[in-house]
Chains A and B, each alone.
Chain A
Amino acid sequence: MEAPPETASAIRVVGLEKRYGERVALAGVDLCVQRGEALGLLGPNGAGKTTTLRVLSTLVGRDAGEVSVLGLDPERDGAQLRARLGVVPQEIALYGPLTARENLRFFGRAHGLVGARLTERVDWALEAASLVDRADDAVQGFSGGMKRRLNLVASLLHGPEVVFLDEPTAGVDPQSRNHLFEMIAGLCKAGLTLIYTTHQMGEVERLCNRIAVMDQGRIAAVGTLAELAALPEVRGHGRARLELGGGRDPAEAAGVLRAAGFDVAVHAEPIDLESIFLVLTGRALRDESETEA
């Protein structure tokens, strides 16, 4: 794959390689993410998504290749980069015995926030996560969705410019997922650069400008959804949706098309379950934890 251009890029990766002993985790990753862009990073388990993010976020070193995040080298300028980077881990990385506010104050301090600025950012985070009412409750009593929201804002306290989100909606109810979507969409609107990894294709479609598909330690393809759909190896695997006007019977239209030599089938397209669930239960957040009566 051709090396991406450098201009205006928040993240630039060229020929990134990483091995764990004999196992090749990354076999030459090339990637470019523009400032303010939300990139969906998709791939099956073991494709190299997590390793890529770990290299970009200074957690592990690389064996070969060039990496630049906000113009900084993760290996050389780690401390500087971490001050401008937010990482939302897949696991709930919070202290259960501490309250939401105590967790936020701790992580804020760890990022160098103090005094009024710390208080202001903690209040913002509690508001953003809709946890103001539960701010002084121990996190171990929170529901999965509440923990997820707190997990997200804990990574944003220091006002990062680039945010990596590793399956931030895993295991939450549709209401919380919807709320998380809105929070993440707000980050996009605020001009932050995002890399979003997930196995939920729908989430990426909804949130990301571009999508990179990883497999076997390489970027297999990158582009907008339309660009990916137009790739030669993808084209022809899609399904077209034909909208009939004037109340005409789809079966009749299918007959006409068949007569013209097209191979056509008519399928009813039911509403998806998540949509039904949201219609029936509404979009309001439900924060009842399991431990509550």
Chain B
Amino acid sequence: MWQTIYALIAKDLLIFRRDRTALALTFLLPIALGSVFGTAMSGVMGGASDSTPVRVGLAVEDRDQTGASRALVDALSAANGLDVDVVDDAERRVESGKRACAILIPKGYEATVAAGRTPELVLLRDPSQAISQQVVLFQLAPVLLQQRIATEGPGLFDSALEALDFPALGRPGASAVLRTSFDDIQTLLLESSAATAGDATPAGTAFDPLAELPGLLGLDVRDAAGNRDDGPPRSAGAAHAFSAMAVMMLLFTVVGAGGTLLQERNEGTLTRLQLTPAAGNAVLLGKLGSVGLIAFLQLVVLFAFAGLVYGVPVLADPLPLVLVSCSWVLLAVGIGLFLAVVCRSQKQLEGLSTLIILVMSALGGAWFPREITPEWFRAVGSFLPVAWAMDAFHGIFWYGKGLLPTETREGIGREVLQMVGLAAVLLVLSVRLFAQRYGSRAR
């Protein structure tokens, strides 16, 4: 019996070793996905002391244009975790999803500071990017507190401790510490926020940074995207999730359907089709048509569900959605057929496509928002079709973007062009490769 067991193990290992695709998939896929996740989340979840924090984009619009306002802009720019853009259309950037947050420095900022009053800064935020907002708030805290210290003096610390619900018993000590060193203020804030994240904080006393910190910092927080007055209520989670599923699952569907090309080759029906008068490109175009229709139907069903059950505004402006859906179907079919033509076997196709789709989806923002990932990660992701499709679908569902830009919002025209362009390239390559590999010699 043992000899049989040994022989079976040896045989299976031998077969496993011979199947290079399975071999690569077994070892490379977890490594690749682990690397992608690890890199993406490192900035948010922390780690080694020398790790580079994620820099979150912050648009700053300086309407005061004075020495004091410029000093504030400089101080914000110097913050470690902020990637500051000085702009004159901050609201539009947040509305378009370009920035998770923006600061408006109002006219009269310098005069207010000079009068010893708290200046009213406006924080515009995109409610769908909660993680980015938290990072922005914690980065803003030391800069803005410093501003308030400068204007309000040490009395600020007592009001700050009160706003934080700091236990009365410890307030004098904490106040003393606050007065002694501004660095310690940062420490206390960070500890407070850490306590909020853990389970140890008693119920009812949780520190909600989004709710309380802005007041402490003298910020007037306004939503500049998503749940606007001119449209139905929207769920940021559903908008992202259904955009992501539309993008990622469609790729799996299309690659699976494109794989039937290899199945037809194995079963001989492809040869029979090659022997028909049309043959050649007609076979590939026929496959493109059937795969495209299946994919489009999948999107229709998915979006109908998203609209009916989760209130995702799929019918708010149908034309851009139809255009983006068609473009993405075309590109996904292009990717699927290209892979099906390039791969020599169905197993190879399964392995390669799984690797490509999962990694591309992670880098392109289908699994988690790209805003929370490191800059180079975002840069790489922006070149990937998944990112274009995510930006387009999410842009429609959450930001209410149309095909063309308006005064307040950017359009999704560029993403549509990118998708159609790459689809054309991939389809031409697929047709040529198909003709080389499977096509009849004569037309």
Residues of A within 8 A of B (CB): 57-61, 73-83, 85, 87, 89-95, 107, 110-112, 154-155
The answer to whether A89 and B279 touch (CB under 8 A), given A58-B440, A79-B442, A110-B273, is no
The answer to whether A110 and B267 touch (CB under 8 A), given A59-B440, A78-B443, is no
The answer to whether A91 and B277 touch (CB under 8 A), given A59-B441, A79-B443, is no
The answer to whether A111 and B441 touch (CB under 8 A), given A93-B267, A93-B268, is no
Contacts of A95 in B (CB 8 A): 269
B140 to A: closest C-beta gap in Å:
61
Contacts of B275 in A (CB 8 A): 57-59, 82, 85, 87
Is B272 located at the chain interface by the 8 A CB criterion? yes
Give me the 7 closest cross-chain CB pairs, A-B, nearest first: A78-B442, A93-B268, A91-B268, A61-B441, A110-B276, A93-B272, A83-B277
Question: Bound complex: CA of A137 vs CA of B442, how far in Å?
Answer: 36
The answer to whether A89 and B268 touch (CB under 8 A), given A59-B275, A82-B277, is yes
A79 to B: closest C-beta gap in Å:
5
10 A-B pairs in the complex with CB atoms less than 8 angstroms apart? A58-B440, A58-B442, A76-B442, A78-B441, A87-B272, A87-B275, A89-B268, A89-B271, A110-B273, A110-B276
Contacts of A76 in B (CB 8 A): 442
B295 to A: closest C-beta gap in Å:
20
Contacts of B269 in A (CB 8 A): 93-95
Q: Is the CB of A81 within 8 A of B272?
A: no
Contacts of B443 in A (CB 8 A): 78-79
Name which of A76, A82, A87 has the most chain B CB atoms within 10 A of its CB.
Answer: A82
Q: Is the CB of B272 within 8 A of A107?
A: yes
Is B278 located at the chain interface by the 8 A CB criterion? yes
Shortest Cβ distance from A103 into B: residue: B269
A270 to B: closest C-beta gap in Å:
39
Choose one: B274, B276, B440, B442; the contact of A111 (CB below 8 Å): B276
Contacts of A87 in B (CB 8 A): 271-272, 275
Contacts of B277 in A (CB 8 A): 79-80, 82-83, 111-112
Question: Bound complex: CA of A59 vs CA of B278, how far in Å?
Answer: 13
Shortest Cβ distance from A84 into B: residue: B277
Choose one: B268, B273, B279; the contact of A92 (CB below 8 Å): B268
Q: Is the CB of A79 within 8 A of B278?
A: yes
Contact with A along B264-288 (1 / 0, CB 8 A): 0001110111111111000000000
B436 to A: closest C-beta gap in Å:
11
Question: Bound complex: CA of A61 vs CA of B440, how far in Å?
Answer: 8
Q: Is the CB of B268 within 8 A of A60?
A: no
Residues of B within 8 A of A (CB): 267-269, 271-279, 440-443
B351 to A: closest C-beta gap in Å:
25
Choose one: B272, B273, B442; the contact of A77 (CB below 8 Å): B442
Shortest Cβ distance from B270 into A: residue: A93
Q: Is the CB of A110 within 8 A of B268?
A: no
Question: Bound complex: CA of A111 vs CA of B277, how far in Å?
Answer: 6
Contacts of A92 in B (CB 8 A): 267-268
Name which of B276, B278, B279, B443 has the most chain A CB atoms within 10 A of its CB.
Answer: B276
The answer to whether A82 and B276 touch (CB under 8 A), given A58-B442, A76-B442, is yes
Question: Bound complex: CA of A79 vs CA of B84, how far in Å?
Answer: 63
A31 to B: closest C-beta gap in Å:
19
Given A59-B271, A93-B267, A112-B277, 15 other A-B residues pairs in contact with their CB atoms under 8 A: A58-B279, A58-B442, A59-B275, A59-B441, A61-B441, A73-B442, A74-B442, A76-B442, A78-B443, A79-B278, A83-B277, A91-B267, A93-B268, A110-B278, A111-B276
Contacts of B273 in A (CB 8 A): 110
Contacts of A74 in B (CB 8 A): 441-442
Contacts of A75 in B (CB 8 A): 441-442
Contacts of A81 in B (CB 8 A): 442
Question: Bound complex: CA of A125 vs CA of B271, how far in Å?
Answer: 20
Contacts of B272 in A (CB 8 A): 87, 89, 93, 107, 154-155
A77 to B: closest C-beta gap in Å:
7
Contacts of B276 in A (CB 8 A): 82, 107, 110-112
Shortest Cβ distance from B279 into A: residue: A82
A142 to B: closest C-beta gap in Å:
15
Q: Is the CB of A78 within 8 A of B267?
A: no
A101 to B: closest C-beta gap in Å:
17
B207 to A: closest C-beta gap in Å:
60
Contacts of A91 in B (CB 8 A): 267-268
Contacts of A110 in B (CB 8 A): 273, 276, 278
Name which of A75, A91, A112 has the most chain B CB atoms within 10 A of its CB.
Answer: A91
Question: Bound complex: CA of A60 vs CA of B279, how far in Å?
Answer: 13
Question: Bound complex: CA of A87 vs CA of B274, how far in Å?
Answer: 11
B427 to A: closest C-beta gap in Å:
22
Contacts of A112 in B (CB 8 A): 276-278
Contacts of A77 in B (CB 8 A): 442
A53 to B: closest C-beta gap in Å:
11
A177 to B: closest C-beta gap in Å:
20
Name which of B272, B274, B275, B440 has the most chain A CB atoms within 10 A of its CB.
Answer: B275
B105 to A: closest C-beta gap in Å:
67
Contacts of A155 in B (CB 8 A): 272
Shortest Cβ distance from B438 into A: residue: A59
Q: Is the CB of A82 within 8 A of B271?
A: no
Q: Is the CB of A58 within 8 A of B441?
A: yes
Contacts of B267 in A (CB 8 A): 91-93
Question: Bound complex: CA of A59 vs CA of B269, how far in Å?
Answer: 13
Shortest Cβ distance from A81 into B: residue: B442
Contacts of A154 in B (CB 8 A): 272
Question: Bound complex: CA of A79 vs CA of B279, how far in Å?
Answer: 8
Question: Bound complex: CA of A57 vs CA of B441, how far in Å?
Answer: 10
Q: Is the CB of A78 within 8 A of B440?
A: yes
Name which of A77, A78, A91 has the most chain B CB atoms within 10 A of its CB.
Answer: A78
Contacts of A83 in B (CB 8 A): 277
Question: Bound complex: CA of A152 vs CA of B440, how far in Å?
Answer: 21
Question: Bound complex: CA of A154 vs CA of B275, how far in Å?
Answer: 12
Shortest Cβ distance from A82 into B: residue: B277
B135 to A: closest C-beta gap in Å:
53
B133 to A: closest C-beta gap in Å:
52
Shortest Cβ distance from B276 into A: residue: A110
Shortest Cβ distance from B442 into A: residue: A78
Question: Bound complex: CA of A75 vs CA of B440, how far in Å?
Answer: 9
Shortest Cβ distance from B269 into A: residue: A93
Contacts of B441 in A (CB 8 A): 58-61, 74-75, 78
A137 to B: closest C-beta gap in Å:
19
Shortest Cβ distance from A55 into B: residue: B441
Question: Bound complex: CA of A107 vs CA of B267, how far in Å?
Answer: 15
